[in-house]
Structure 1
């Protein structure tokens, strides 16, 4: 079966794929173009796409009799793929849950600590040569230990963040989730307004139409002026313009972002703000994690090729 891998992946993943499939490995790190998206459905039996490869309803409509039968997404988030349109075209979609959980939770903690303690601002001060030495009132930030954490979303990643914050920093955990659940750790499920009123708010919901701009002007208005917002979910879950306005007006103390609404474009208004930590989507950027993600995507491809149930079919 002919397989298109849309971006460079760790060598172990590519070699494992080549052992089983006729692989075409695209060497560009940019998302598929409009023409490439359509060609992938026409010319390949299987596709291993990832974030930014925009398989919209229009793409599927332009290829009414696709050769492709499976999009084995590299990543847990698949809001770049219209899964409903894919199913209507007879194409299955899978993702890679589980493999990304701990690495993404670690990045959330990185952003919490960097933003609360103004680490990015401090590093820029040292690098610029502007630091004039320690003094008692220098760059005072938010002490994280013992504070209240508000989680928006309590799936695998949310639970991993909650464990780190509660057991590592003694934080009280409250969370907002669309369905009732027992996370198996000390945490209280609350309405959105109560979660947004925490000292540290972390967005950890899936992307997609249901959560687009969930964190909007009204939600941000519920935050306390000393609080910080962290987003490790999908960029468009947060209304970026509303967040910029809230930060510029001092309605919250800071933000830590690993994802952006129009990624990879980051507004100058964000980069100009000193109280914002900005990372280049590092959530799963560890070799062993990216390898595990690739091998999980390959498991889905192999299952399809062997006529077995897909391990990680998306609903």
Structure 2
């Protein structure tokens, strides 16, 4: 008999078929279905598939007494109550490494689009405006790239920065054995950098890490990119900094108002927004879903999971 699985996030039909070949799954990708099926079917659920944004609460965990394993699709797990899972003896895993390249690619796409003002220039071109009538956007190459969080994704962003012959600096919880400049705090990094890329985990510890003070330090020629979690950047402070010209622009794949777009930023031509799909590509999603299948099937077979937490 296949283990009963509760899926709390969107999966495409092919990925549902992949999961269904290994599990008897309940598909509940919205709040209404989630509450309904936890109440009706929670007693039989042995595995949960969620993600960092959607999460899994202690109350939900306790409503599933047979739960053995909870998995996050992708690297983030900030809204999964991991500590409560551990107290219950529930194994937890994520998809670390499955979409790092995709997220790093997207970070560079946002950086290029923001710095080179691609969104606004596209609008001008469609309106018949020629290059002599628009300001020249700055280079991306040969600048200073500051990265907040030098984990797997941050390191891949750094390597892409080197491809643009940028000087790389970073801030993290500790200094690493890398050929990049370490900064002990975010403000110092922002003061040094031309471009600031947020690649740190979300959660209470990093909430509004990028605040008004950091944005002012980044400066009127500085650009911000966030491909981490919306909570890391103070949206109101960013809107004020953009309005007052204290930063030059931003590229955001994540924001505090998700899934709604950030209303405070909608009217800025120097902001590029995408709907939290930095880690989404056919290749990355296939790898992420396969990692979940591998982790969960290994757990039920009594084997070590590939990426446990």
Alpha-carbon distance, 1:36 to partner: 4.3
Q: Secondary structure at the match of 1:210?
A: helix
What stretches of structure 1 of length at least 5 have no aligned partner?
A: none
Provide closer, same or farther for how the CA distance between residues 180 and 132 of structure 1 changes in structure 2, counting only shifts above 3 A. Answer: closer
Output aligned runs, 1:173-212, within 5 Å. Answer: 173-183=168-178, 186-191=179-184, 192-197=186-191, 198-212=193-207
Q: Secondary structure at the match of 1:222?
A: helix
Higher helix proportion (structure 1 or 2): 2
Contact 1:32–1:54 (Cα < 8 Å) also in 2: no
* Alignment deviations for residues 190-243 of structure 1 (CA, whole Å, 9 cap, x no partner): 222231121000011111221111111222221121000000001101111111
Alpha-carbon distance, 1:41 to partner: 4.2
Partner of 1:272: 267
Provide closer, same or farther for how the CA distance between residues 69 and 123 of structure 1 changes in structure 2, counting only shifts above 3 A. Answer: same
Q: Secondary structure at the match of 1:221?
A: helix
Partners of 2:231 and 2:33 lie apart in 1 by: 21
Contact 2:255–2:262 (Cα < 8 Å) also in 1: no
Provide closer, same or farther for how the CA distance between residues 37 and 105 of structure 1 changes in structure 2, counting only shifts above 3 A. Answer: farther
Detail structure 1 runs of 4+ shifted over 4 Å in the superposition: 31-34
Provide closer, same or farther for how the CA distance between residues 241 and 21 of structure 1 changes in structure 2, counting only shifts above 3 A. Answer: same
Alpha-carbon distance, 1:20 to partner: 2.4
Contact 2:235–2:264 (Cα < 8 Å) also in 1: no
Q: Secondary structure at the match of 1:139?
A: coil
Alpha-carbon distance, 1:32 to partner: 6.3
RMSD between superposed Cα atoms in Å: 2.0
Structure 1 stretch displaced more, 264-273 or 299-308: 264-273
Alpha-carbon distance, 1:34 to partner: 6.0
Provide closer, same or farther for how the CA distance between residues 309 and 280 of structure 1 changes in structure 2, counting only shifts above 3 A. Answer: same
Partner of 2:141: 145
203, 217, 221: which one pairs with 1:222?
A: 217
Provide closer, same or farther for how the CA distance between residues 77 and 196 of structure 1 changes in structure 2, counting only shifts above 3 A. Answer: same
Provide closer, same or farther for how the CA distance between residues 214 and 58 of structure 1 changes in structure 2, counting only shifts above 3 A. Answer: farther
Output aligned runs, 1:85-164, within 5 Å. Answer: 85-127=84-126, 129=127, 131-135=128-132, 138-164=134-160
What count of residue pairs does the alignment treat as equivalent?
Answer: 304
What stretches of structure 2 of length at least 5 have no aligned partner?
A: none
Provide closer, same or farther for how the CA distance between residues 288 and 47 of structure 1 changes in structure 2, counting only shifts above 3 A. Answer: same
